[in-house]
Structure 1
Amino acid sequence: MTAFESLLAFQRQTEALSSIAERLGWDQETVMPRGATEQRAEEMAAIEGVLHERRTDPRISEWLDRAEARDEKEQRILELIGREHRRAARVPARLATELARQTSLSQGIWAEARANDAPDDFMPVLNDVLMLKREEAAALADGGDLYDALLEDYEPGATQAEIAALFDAMRPRLVALREDVLGADHQPQALSGHFAQETQLRLARTCATAFGYDWSRGRMDLAVHPFSSGRWQDSRITTRVVETDPFNCLYSTIHEVGHSSYELGIDDDYAFTPLGRGVSMGVHESQSRIYENQIGRGRALTSWLYQRMNDAFGGLSIADADAFYGTVNKVTPGFIRTEADEVQYNLHIMLRFDLERQLISGRLDTEDLVEAWNARFLNDFGVAVDRPANGVLQDVHWAVGLFGYFPTYALGNVYAGCLNAAMRGDLPDLDASLTKGAADPAVEWLRENVQRHGGLYAPRQLIELAIGGEVSEEPLLNYLETKFGEIYRL
């Protein structure tokens, strides 16, 4: 075999093992017995040890030196393997395996602490994770910025300085819109009633099907914190149920379908290569957020959903589809990021972005995190956090070491704003299909312009190719001001 063929064969096995590790994570968050936490931590550490050994194998450097790319695709494969190899080589095997073990343990402790509103039970183990992440960041940064080194895992090429500047540009218009909306004379009605779990889950499956989810290559389960997992021929989604709030379940499902559809939509030829994954979490979030918001919370799709919910639950407290559109998009001061409306969602991300930068830099310690969170939340949202599960314990990300992940949610919203504007320009009759519960035209547009490419292009390059222009926060902010200005009659 040529050097390129040898490298690709080796990488294929690494990708397969990585997929197995991901499946272990899915199992832990869905169906694993609660008493198996310590065993799973050892299993995760063992497989991470094998993966780290493969990613740092000295033969990779030799193959990369001798490999010759015949086209753009092969050149990108070499680039991505080289990047992963160099990053892995900077992290000691001991640290990689200990991180896998500790974050697996931490996840279970976080879930218990969240259920019991007991941050003191979680903060010591979070501190252990934080110390390991600081060590990893120092190894990866090689003298550079620690947070940027971690951010590179989720949004290659982005820096915290760029993201901070983006957030500074977005915040004034978001805050002004929120003040106008909350102070408006017209306020949409809230949904009330009891909504049985099994009925919610049946309707969630209906929504997933409407968005083209491939049930032959996926499944839906319950999790404390909804997520998607897998790639190629097996990409699964999870959701959660609150029997007084069906939107929690339905829109979590649609959101995760966006993630999963991205993975399932990648060109089959890219399977078991670095091209066979979503290129960044920002791009990933662009898919989940545009499915959930610009499509899922739009007037056309909600008119279809109104009738489905009316039928499923034997009537609703909302009079008609037009009022229901306002209800779905009602802006309410709330604690939970995943339940936040479009106006306030990015403000939740900005809070987490600033706090985790302070944690990584050492300017904030875990023993002071609860107080820092509560003070910042009160300042940003004007509401005092009522209990830890609605505050610092609500997200799983820090428990599993995902420092640097949070800003990609807001970046994904910016990408989604750009994609929505371009898609609407190409599909002027899209709403006619969405009113019938057929999201196919939008799904196909996104698959053709974004999803099928996998990791072929750098994140920002991919979005700019899809929209035929430069990425900007303007389309998102304009969309929000227009949409909520109409709903609230501003």
Structure 2
Amino acid sequence: MSAFDELMAFQRDTCALAQVSGRLHWDMETTMPKGAAAQRGAEVAAIEGVLHARRTAPEIGEWLDKAEAPDAAGAAQLREIRRDWDRNRKVPAALARAIAQITSEAHGVWAAARADENVAAFLPMLEKIVALKREEGQALAAGGDVYDAMVADYEPGMTGGEIATLFDAMRPRQVALRAAVLEKPAPKGVSGEFDDRLQMQLAGKLAETFGYDLHRGRVDKAVHPFSSGSGSDVRITTRTNPLDPFNCIYSTIHETGHAAYEQGIDAAYALTPLGQGVSMGVHESQSRIYENQLGRSRAFTGWLFGEMKGLFGDFGIADAEAFYGAVNRVHRGYIRTEADEVQYNLHIMLRFDLERALMSGDLQVGDLEAAWNDRFKADFGYAVDVPSNGCLQDVHWSAGLFGYFPTYSLGNVYAGCLYAALRKAVPGLDAQLAEGDTSGATGWLRENLQRHGGLYAPREVIERASGAAVSETALLDYLEAKFGALYGL
């Protein structure tokens, strides 16, 4: 075997073990008994130790020095393997295991604290996580900015400063649009109770409608919806609320976007660095365009209205146009995952600033709840009522995912670029969506973006697909046009 072949064989085993680790996390959030949390923490830490040893193995360096890429894809494999190897060698094995164990144990603590509305019950665990993640960030940054090192784990090539500049550019138009919309009467929302079983039935149908292959996946319930896995085993979760069916519907479509990306990657890349989404920003571009530009469009909601009438009967909405208004209703709310398109990015900007301050040491964990509540009141104009609507609402910090949150808004920006190109490439898009047919849109995304996996750098794959430089302008233009028409601005 050549050095390249030996390296790739070693890498495939490492990727396979990483998938096993991911399955442990999926089980932890879906079906694992509550009493198993401590043991699961030990299990996750053990496999993390094995993975860290493989990811930092000196043989990788020897192979990289000798390997000759057979083609462009091979060169990209070597690029990604070297980046991963350089990154992991900076983190001590004991620290990697400690982070894996504490974040595994923290999930149950966070979920219980959230259910009990008890921030104090979670803060000691969060203190430990923040301390360990700061230590990891310092090791990765090697004297540079700690938060930049964390962002690089989710969006290679991006820095906290660049994100701050982007958000500064976005905020004025977003705030102005929100102010104009909120001065207008809000469309009527849905009413009544929506059976949990029927919601999950609709969730399964929607996932398939958006191209999710249930022969290689499944739909389950979790406290916080997520997608897990790659290749031939990609699983999604959603959640239900008897008074709010949109929670389930759009969580499902969102996670289907993530899963479709993973399922759509060229099978030749399976269990290699190219066999997964290239970054979380690009991943979020898929989930957000599925959820919003497609799933909340006037055309698709017309079809969805008929599906909901068939399942739930009368739910207080007269016709498809009124239903489109209900789906896109801009309203007061606390929860990021339930936020309308106009206000969603403002939720992300809040989290970005807070977690950046936590990592720099400018904000202490003990002051997080007050800082969150003060910032929310300043940004949204009303006070947080309970912690599950405030700093306990998201799973990310309990999982140690610092640097992840800004990728949601990066995904929105990328989605804006992709949607502008998609509309030009698929002129019959609205007619297809009105029939519940998403294949024109999802097929275009699969061909132009998803199949490439990690072949191209994040910004490059967006620009290749959209044919234009990445800019927030397309997203903001889309939002102003859509909501300007909907609210008569």
Q: Give the structure 2 partner of residue 7 of structure 1.
A: 7
Cα deviation for residue 316 of structure 1 reads 2.1
Q: 2:483 is paired with a residue of what secondary structure?
A: helix
Task: Give runs of aligned pairs for residues 273-422 of structure 1, distance below 5 A.
Answer: 273-422=272-421
Q: Give the structure 1 partner of residue 422 of structure 2.
A: 423
Is the deviation greater in 41-50 or in 202-211?
Answer: 202-211
How many residues align? The count is: 489
| Residue-by-residue CA offset, 1:402-437 (whole Å, 9 max, x unaligned) | 000000000000000000000001111111110010
Task: Give runs of aligned pairs for residues 409-488 of structure 1, distance below 5 A.
Answer: 409-488=408-487
- Rounded Cα–Cα distance in structure 2 between residues aligned with 1:256 and 1:94: 33
Cα deviation for residue 187 of structure 1 reads 2.2
Is the deviation greater in 261-270 or in 70-79?
Answer: 70-79
- Rounded Cα–Cα distance in structure 1 between residues aligned with 2:107 and 2:279: 23
Q: Give the structure 1 partner of residue 33 of structure 2.
A: 33
Which amino acid letter does the alignment assign opposite residue 136 of structure 1? E
Cα deviation for residue 314 of structure 1 reads 1.3
Cα deviation for residue 198 of structure 1 reads 0.4
Does 2:208 align with 1:209?
yes
- Rounded Cα–Cα distance in structure 2 between residues aligned with 1:224 and 1:70: 45
- Rounded Cα–Cα distance in structure 2 between residues aligned with 1:320 and 1:326: 10
Q: Give the structure 1 partner of residue 165 of structure 2.
A: 165
Cα deviation for residue 170 of structure 1 reads 0.3
- Rounded Cα–Cα distance in structure 2 between residues aligned with 1:241 and 1:277: 28
| Residue-by-residue CA offset, 1:96-124 (whole Å, 9 max, x unaligned) | 00000000011110000000000000001
Which amino acid letter does the alignment assign opposite residue 294 of structure 1? Q
Q: Give the structure 1 partner of residue 95 of structure 2.
A: 95
Q: 1:153 is paired with a residue of what secondary structure?
A: helix
Does 2:242 align with 1:229?
no
Q: 2:403 is paired with a residue of what secondary structure?
A: coil
Which amino acid letter does the alignment assign opposite residue 105 of structure 2? L
Contact 2:126 2:398 in 1 (8 A): yes
- Rounded Cα–Cα distance in structure 1 between residues aligned with 2:215 and 2:437: 19
- Rounded Cα–Cα distance in structure 1 between residues aligned with 2:31 and 2:390: 26
Q: If the length of structure 2 is used for normalisation, what is the TM-score?
A: 1.00
Does 2:181 align with 1:188?
no
Q: 1:393 is paired with a residue of what secondary structure?
A: coil
Structure 1 stretches of at least 4 aligned residues deviating more than 4 Å after TM superposition:
none
| Residue-by-residue CA offset, 1:249-271 (whole Å, 9 max, x unaligned) | 01000000000000000000000
Q: 2:229 is paired with a residue of what secondary structure?
A: strand
Which amino acid letter does the alignment assign opposite residue 63 of structure 1? W
Contact 2:186 2:331 in 1 (8 A): no
Q: 1:330 is paired with a residue of what secondary structure?
A: coil
Does 2:144 align with 1:144?
yes
Which amino acid letter does the alignment assign opposite residue 9 of structure 2? A
Which amino acid letter does the alignment assign opposite residue 311 of structure 1? G
| Residue-by-residue CA offset, 1:440-477 (whole Å, 9 max, x unaligned) | 11010000011000000000000000011100000100
CA RMSD of aligned residues (A): 0.5
- Rounded Cα–Cα distance in structure 2 between residues aligned with 1:65 and 1:372: 49
Which amino acid letter does the alignment assign opposite residue 198 of structure 1? R
Which amino acid letter does the alignment assign opposite residue 32 of structure 2? M
Cα deviation for residue 484 of structure 1 reads 0.3
Which amino acid letter does the alignment assign opposite residue 32 of structure 1? M
Q: 1:368 is paired with a residue of what secondary structure?
A: helix
Q: If the length of structure 1 is used for normalisation, what is the TM-score?
A: 0.99
Unaligned runs of 5+ in 1: none
| Residue-by-residue CA offset, 1:177-221 (whole Å, 9 max, x unaligned) | 00000001x421111110010011111111111111101001000
